[in-house]
Structure 1
C-alpha cells in the first residue's frame, strides 16, 4: 500500500516554499522522521521529515520547484506497490496534445503569468541556496531569469525584485552590500596539501551561514562583559529543583535567567526594540519573547519562549525543557523559531570564561553566559575572603541604538537580580 508524502503546514502567513534540496532518490529507503526535502521560505530554511518509513517509489519535485502546504511530493511504499502510485484513471485520461508533453508528475504547480519565455529550470542535483523570497522566485520564472546568475543587492546577497528586473533588462550587477566582499574568494586546491573530503551543509547550517552573514554586515556590534555572584540563587535553584521536577521540568540557570532578563527588558525597553532604517524609527515591542540558543547534533537552533514576563520560573523551566527537546529531535515548527525580541546563549554547561555572541537581526542585543566558578571574594564587613560562586556573562548590542552606558546599566541590573533574588519580587 503506497503512502503519500505530503508537506506539513509551512507556518502562519507562509503560502509556499521553494525546494532547495532533495535528500533522497527513488529507490532509497526512508525511516520515519528522516529528512527527505530541504525547503526555503522567506523566513527560514527547513528540513522536512518523512511521516513514515518505507521505500521511495516516486518523487514529484526537484530543486527550484515551488510547493505548498499539504501538497503531495512523493509516494512511499514497501517496494511492491509502485503501480499503485499511478492514478487508476490514467488510461482513461485524454492523451496530451502534441505541443504539450505528457507531465511526469502530478504535483500541482503555481500558475505563472503569461510570458513568451519559458523560465529556465535548475539543473538536476543543484543544491545551491538562493537567497530570494518566493515572490522574487515567481517573478524570475515569469521573466525567464535564472536566479543562479543574479547577484543580490540585499544583506548576504539577498535577491530583490529590482535585482531580477535589472538582470532581465540587461543591467549591470549591483554593488555588493556594505561590509561584504564584492565576491567570495576562490578556495585554494586543498587536495595538493593532503587528503580532503566534502560534506554537504544541512539546512540548519545553511540558514546559519545566511543569518550570521546578514547580521555581521548590518549591525555594528559591541560586547560588554560583567559577572554576577550567583551563590544565593544557586542555593535556591537546588532547593526548589524538586518542585520543578514534579511539574516535569528541570530548574536550570537558563530558566532563572529568562525571568531575570524579562524584568531587565521591561526596565530597559530599548533592548526590546528593533531599528527600522527605512522609516528612521525605533520599533518598541510591548511583548517579551526570548530566544534560547540550543546546541543540537545538527547545529545551533534558537526556539522562542513567549510572554516570558508573564510566567513563573517553574513554568518557564518546564516550557524550556520541552522546546529544547523538540529542537534536539528536529521537531520545531517555523512558528516556534520566530518572533524573539532578545536572545540568551548559555554555554556554562560546556565551559569557558567568556565569549562574544552575535546579535540576531532584527534584535538589538544578545546575552552570552559562561561557566560559573568558585572564587575568593573580599567581605569588607568580616575583613576576610569568602568563597563565592561567580558567573561571567556578556552582552553584545547594536551600537546604533544602544550606548555603552546603557549596556553597563542593563548588565548591572541583571547582576543585582541574580545576587539578590528577593528583588525579583519587586522588579519581576
Structure 2
C-alpha cells in the first residue's frame, strides 16, 4: 500500500518551508517515527518523522527547494501491512498493480542522416594539431586542447591560442555572478522588511547615554549571577529599563491592526530580542518581562538565543512580541547609532550600539565616561516626537541610574 507524506501544518500561519536535508533515500526501509527530513520555516528548523513503516519509494523535493503545506514530500510503500498512526497525511491506499510491459515492436533499420554542418573545432571530425611544447603548456595550464580553436595552418593550435583561451576563461570567472535564490528564512525577512517599510512611516530618535553606573553595577552583580550559572550581560538591564519606559509611554507598547484600522495597546510586556542566526535574523520573545528578575531575564534570553541559533527554537517562542530590542553593539565595526526598522505590526523598536569611552561634561569638567548610543525608531502614525521624547527620557533615567530599577522589582 502506498502512503503519501505531505508537508503538515507547522502552525503560526506558516504556509511553506524549505527542505534542508533528507534523512532517508529511495529504497530505504524505515520504521514508524524514524526521521524523514528536516525543513526550515520562517520561524525554526523542524525534523519531520514518518507516521508509517515501510520502504521509501521516492522523494518529491530536492534539498534547498521550497514546499507548501499539503505538498507531497515522500511516498512510502507500507507493503500492505504497515500500521498508520494517523498523525499526518491520509491512510495508505492500495497501490495499483503494475501495468503489463509493452509488446516489443520490430525494429526498422534507418539510414543516419548526413549533416551539411562543418564539425566544430576540436570535435572528433577534426584531427587535433599542436606541437609537443604547446601540449605541455596546455597541460600545465589545465586546458583541454579540444576546447581551443587553433589559428595556425589547418587549425593548428599555437601558444597564443592557449594563452588567449586561459585569459578568456579568467575573464568569465572574474565577471561571473553568484545568484542566491531568495527563499526560506531570507525571503521571509525580505517580505517582512518590505511590509514594515511600506506600511509604517518611520522616524528614528538617537541619544548618547552615560553608562558608567550601568557598567559598575553589572560588574558588581556578575559574580552572583555566575554563581547561579547565569551570564549577566547588559541586555537584561535594557529589557527592564525598556519595560519602565513603556509603562511611561503605553502607546509604544502597541501593535497596528490593519484589518480593523486600529491601534491595539498591549497590557503585557513581551520583549522581542532580535537575534542573528545563520541565514538571517529571528526575534525570540521574552514573555512577561515585567514579572521577571534580571537573572530570570538573562537566563531566558540565553535559552531563547541558543535555541534560535541552532535553528531548533519552537515557533511559539518567536511570536507575540509587543516591543523589540536589537543590539548591534557587539558586532565587528559596530556603530554607536543605527536606524533599525520596526518589527511590524509593532510600533517601535530600540537599537543598542556599542559601549565605549566618550568625553562627557560632569560638574563642568570634560571627563571620559562609559557611554552607549541608543536609537529609537517609531511608527509616526502612532507616536509623535513628544511621545518618543518621553520614552527616551525614561530610558535614560533607568540606564544612567540603574539602581532605581531595584525600586520596581516584582
TM score, norm. by length of structure 2 = 0.66
Q: CA deviation at 1:233?
A: 1.3
Q: Give deviations 1:212-261, integer Å, cap 9, x for gaps.
A: 11111110000000121110111110111122222222111111111111
Map of 1:357 onto structure 2 = 340
What does residue 340 of structure 1 align with? 321
The correspondence for 1:48, drawn from 41, 46, 49, is 46
After superposition, the Cα gap between the structure-2 partners of 1:325 and 1:275, relative to the gap in structure 1 and judged at 3 Å, is same
The one of the two structures with greater contact order (alpha-carbon pairs below 8 A, sep at least 6) is: 2
Which of residues 350, 362, 370 is equivalent to 1:389?
A: 370
Alpha-carbon RMSD: 3.6
- Among candidates 83, 86, 96, match of residue 77 of structure 2: 86
Say which of 324, 349, 352 aligns to 2:305: 324
Cα distance in 2 for residues equivalent to 1:331 and 1:317? 19
Change (3 A) 1:337 1:216: same
2:384 counterpart of 1:424:
no
Aligned with residue 356 of structure 2, among 370, 373, 378 = 373
Shift of 1:266: 1.5
Pairing of 1:261-272 with structure 2 (within 5 A): 261-272=242-253
C-alpha distance after superposition, 1:262-294 (max 9, x if no partner)? 111122110001223443432111100000011
Deviation at 1:47, TM superposition (A): 3.8
Report which of the two structures shows the higher radius of gyration computed on alpha carbons. Answer: 2
What's 1:285 paired with?
266
User: Is the alpha carbon distance of 1:347 and 1:38 closer, same or farther for their aligned partners in structure 2, counting shifts above 3 Å?
Assistant: closer
SS in 1 for 2:80: helix
With structure 1 as the length reference, what TM-score do the two structures score? 0.63
Q: Kindly tell me: are residues 86 and 281 of structure 1, through their superposed partners in 2, closer, same or farther at Cα, counting changes over 3 Å?
A: closer
2:235 to 254, 278, 281: 254
Tell me, yes or no, if the aligned pair for 1:35 and 1:47 is still in contact at 8 Å: no
Identify the residue that residue 78 of structure 1 maps to in structure 2.
Answer: none
| 1:375–1:388 contact (8 Å) kept in structure 2 | yes
Residues 22 and 369 (structure 1 numbering): CA distance in 2 closer, same or farther, change over 3 Å? closer
What whole-Å deviation, never above 9, does each CA across 1:149-203 have from its counterpart, x for those lacking one? Answer: xxxxxxxxxxxxxxxxxxxxxxxxxxxxxxxxxxxxxxxxxx7981122233452
Moved more, 289-298 or 270-279: 270-279
> Match of 2:338, SS?
coil
In structure 1, what is the Cα distance between the partners aligned to 2:23 and 2:313? 25
1:360 is paired with a residue of what secondary structure? coil
- Give runs of aligned pairs for residues 233-252 of structure 1, distance below 5 A: 233-252=214-233
* Runs of 5+ unmatched residues, structure 2: 29-33, 92-171
Q: Distance in 1 between matches of 2:58 and 2:218?
A: 52
Q: How far has the Cα of 1:61 moved from its partner?
A: 5.4
Q: How far off is 1:60 after superposition? A: 5.7
Given candidates 66, 70, 79, the residue that maps to 2:69 is: 66
Distance 2:270 2:176 in 1: 46
Report how many residues are paired: 307
CA-to-aligned-CA distance 1:12-48 (integer Å, 9 cap, x gap): x76x84456575597499xx99973345xxxx46543
Gaps of 5+ in 1: 76-84, 92-105, 111-190
